[in-house]
Amino acid sequence: MKICTIRELLDARIITGEEQMGAHVYSACGSDMMSDVLAYVKDQAVLLTGLVNAQVVRTAEMMDMHCIVFVRSKEPTPEMIRLAEESSMVLLATDKRMYEACGILYSNGLVGNKVKKEPGI
């Protein structure tokens, strides 16, 4: 799915990275816990989060993500915007809550990552 489609589906505002709106993402992750993002996310994902600190951008960069969507009307700090611009990362913001935003993207074909179950679970 193209990032511009995500923007349209979530009625999101572009904060930075407008020139990257044609890039494709292949999966999505919704989390406010960056440890879960590090443990379960594959490359080429979009991150939906309500967490607003520089660690979010750094985590997304480590995981080779191209887009972060801030839910619940959250706004990134100037430091986060600067870090995202340095990494050519798109930052979007939507008024939608996490559950609704993830549901909209999933129902329009953007899949989540498969979580490997441990034996016996």
Q: What are the phi and psi torsion angles at 57 (to 5°)?
A: -65, -40
**pLDDT tens profile 76-100:** 999 999 999 999 999 999 999 999 9
Mean pLDDT, range 31-60, rounded to an integer = 89
Beta bridge partner(s), residue 49:
70
How many C-beta atoms lie closer than 10 Å to residue 69's C-beta? Answer: 28
Confidence of residue 44 (pLDDT cuts 50, 70, 90): low
d(CA 30, CA 91): 15
CATH of 3-107, one of 3.30.1360.120, 3.30.450.80, 3.40.1390.20, 3.30.70.141: 3.40.1390.20
Q: Report the mean per-residue pLDDT for the chain.
A: 90
Percent of the chain with pLDDT over 90: 75
Give the pLDDT of residue 15: 98
Mean pLDDT, range 52-61, rounded to an integer = 94
What is the four-CA torsion angle of 116, 104, 2, 38, rounded to 10 degrees? -30
Contact predicate 67/47, CB 8 Å: yes
pLDDT at 61 over 70: yes
pLDDT at 101 over 60: yes
In the chain, where the domains are located: 3-107
Mean pLDDT, range 17-38, rounded to an integer = 91
d(CA 64, CA 16): 17
Tokens of residue 114, six digits: 């498969």
